């Protein structure tokens, strides 16, 4: 709380009359702490100060804090799932020019294969590599 005349007026009876009687009766540090806390709370309410408890404070961020590497990995996985979806559609449906172009683009983009295996030249080989 900031110092003000209003605060001084509220604290004067607390200091002189109330606390002086009860401080000597406080036997433990917990009871002294409770006494000081209650007097500060009373002074704050008299002066009209806003008191925030833990329940009042809302979290501004709604999502849990996920690490950057996990976000990037999730994006890559979603992109690969999209590619797999497009290639399976290419294999199941009748071929049109647009679908063939997108499938060839995916096949040329995916370069994941071991040194012993031949490179991905067909969509079936590309799907086999992506699933591994």
DSSP string computed for 41-108: HHHHHHHT-----TTTPPPS--S----HHHHHHHHHHHHHHHHHHHHHHHHHSPP-HHHHHHHHHHHH
Q: For residues 64 and 60, what is the distance between their CA atoms, to the nearest angstrom?
A: 11
Series of mean pLDDT values for 10-residue runs along the chain (132 residues): 70 77 80 83 80 64 78 92 84 78 78 61 62 47
Instruction: Give pLDDT, residue 130.
Output: 53
> What is the reported pTM?
0.39
Q: Tokens 């501004």 sit at which residue?
A: 60
Answer for the pair 110, 92: CB distance below 8 angstroms, yes or no: no
Instruction: Give pLDDT, residue 74.
Output: 94
Instruction: Give pLDDT, residue 115.
Output: 61
Instruction: Give pLDDT, residue 13.
Output: 79
Instruction: Give pLDDT, residue 72.
Output: 94
Residue 30 CA from chain centroid, whole number:
36
Instruction: Give pLDDT, residue 43.
Output: 80
Instruction: Give pLDDT, residue 77.
Output: 93
Q: How many CA atoms lie within 13 A of 69 on its CB side?
A: 0
């Amino acid at each position: 709380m900031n110092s003000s005349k209003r605060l001084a007026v509220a604290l004067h009876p607390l200091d002189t009359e109330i606390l002086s009687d009860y401080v000597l009766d406080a036997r433990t540090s917990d009871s002294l702490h409770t006494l000081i806390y209650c007097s500060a709370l009373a002074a704050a309410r008299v002066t009209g100060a806003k008191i925030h408890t833990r329940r009042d404070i809302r979290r501004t961020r709604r999502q849990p804090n996920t690490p950057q590497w996990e976000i990037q990995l999730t994006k890559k996985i979603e992109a690969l799932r999209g590619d797999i979806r497009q290639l399976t559609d290419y294999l199941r449906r009748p071929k049109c020019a647009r679908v063939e172009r997108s499938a060839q683009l995916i096949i040329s983009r995916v370069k994941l294969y071991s040194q012993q295996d031949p490179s991905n030249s067909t969509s079936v080989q590309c799907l086999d590599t992506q699933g591994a």
